Amino acid sequence: MSTDADPQSARSWSTTPERSNLLAIQTIAWIATHLGRHVARLVLHPIALYYLLFAPAARRASRRYLGRALGRPAGWTDLYRHIHAFASVALDRVWFAAGRVDLFDLRICGGAVMETALAEGRGVYLVGAHIGSFEALHAVGLSKRQLPVAMVMYPENARMIHTVLQALAPDFDVSIIPIGQRGSALTIRDFLDKGGLTGLMGDRYMPSQAVQEGSVERLFLGMPAQFTDGPVRLAMMLRRRVIFMVGLYRGGNRYDVRFEELADFRQPPADPGEREALVLAAVADYVRRLEALCLEAPYNWFNFYDYWHEDAAA
Using one digit for the tens of pLDDT, what is the confidence trace for 120-169? 888 999 999 999 998 787 666 656 556 778 888 765 665 666 666 665 56
Closest to 199 in 3D by CA, of 258, 135, 254, 255: 135
Domain range enclosing 165: 7-300
pLDDT at res. 4: 38
Asked if residue 188 is part of any domain, the answer here is: yes
Query: What value does the mean pLDDT take over residues 11-24?
Result: 50
Q: Which residues of 35-58 are buried (b: 16+ CB within 10 A; e: fewer)?
A: eebeebbebbeebbeebbeebebb
Read off the pTM: 0.86
Lowest mean pLDDT among 89-98, 207-216, 284-293: 207-216
Measured CA to CA in angstroms, residue 40 lies from 1, 29, 33, 87 at distances of 19, 8, 9, 10
Asked if residue 89 is part of any domain, the answer here is: yes
Share of the chain above pLDDT 90, in %: 51
What is the distance between the alpha carbons of residues 301 and 17, in angstroms, rounded to a whole number? Answer: 14
What is the distance between the alpha carbons of residues 248 and 131, in angstroms, rounded to a whole number? Answer: 7
pLDDT at res. 206: 62
Across the chain, what does the average pLDDT equal? 83
Using one digit for the tens of pLDDT, what is the confidence trace for 188-203? 999 999 988 888 999 9
Top mean pLDDT of 1-15, 65-79, 161-175 is at: 65-79
| pLDDT exceeds cutoff 80 at 294 | yes
Asked if residue 108 is part of any domain, the answer here is: yes
Lowest mean pLDDT among 77-91, 100-114, 283-297: 100-114
Asked if residue 312 is part of any domain, the answer here is: no
C-alpha Rg value of the chain to the nearest Å: 19
How many folded domains does the chain comprise? 1
What is the distance between the alpha carbons of residues 239 and 63, in angstroms, rounded to a whole number? Answer: 40
Query: What value does the mean pLDDT take over residues 229-256?
Result: 94
Asked if residue 309 is part of any domain, the answer here is: no
DSSP state of 132: B
Asked if residue 259 is part of any domain, the answer here is: yes
Top-confidence residue, 151 or 233: 233
What is the distance between the alpha carbons of residues 266 and 137, in angstroms, rounded to a whole number? Answer: 23
- The residues, any chain, with a CB within 8 Å of residue 130's CB and separated by 6 or more, are 201, 203, 204, 301, 302, 303
Q: What CATH number has the domain bearing residue 65?
A: 3.40.1130
Closest to 135 in 3D by CA, of 180, 86, 179, 188: 86
Asked if residue 308 is part of any domain, the answer here is: no
CB 153 within 8 A of CB 161: yes
Asked if residue 305 is part of any domain, the answer here is: no
Strand 175-178 relative to strand 105-109: parallel, antiparallel, unpaired?
Answer: unpaired
pLDDT band of residue 244 (cuts 50, 70, 90) is very high
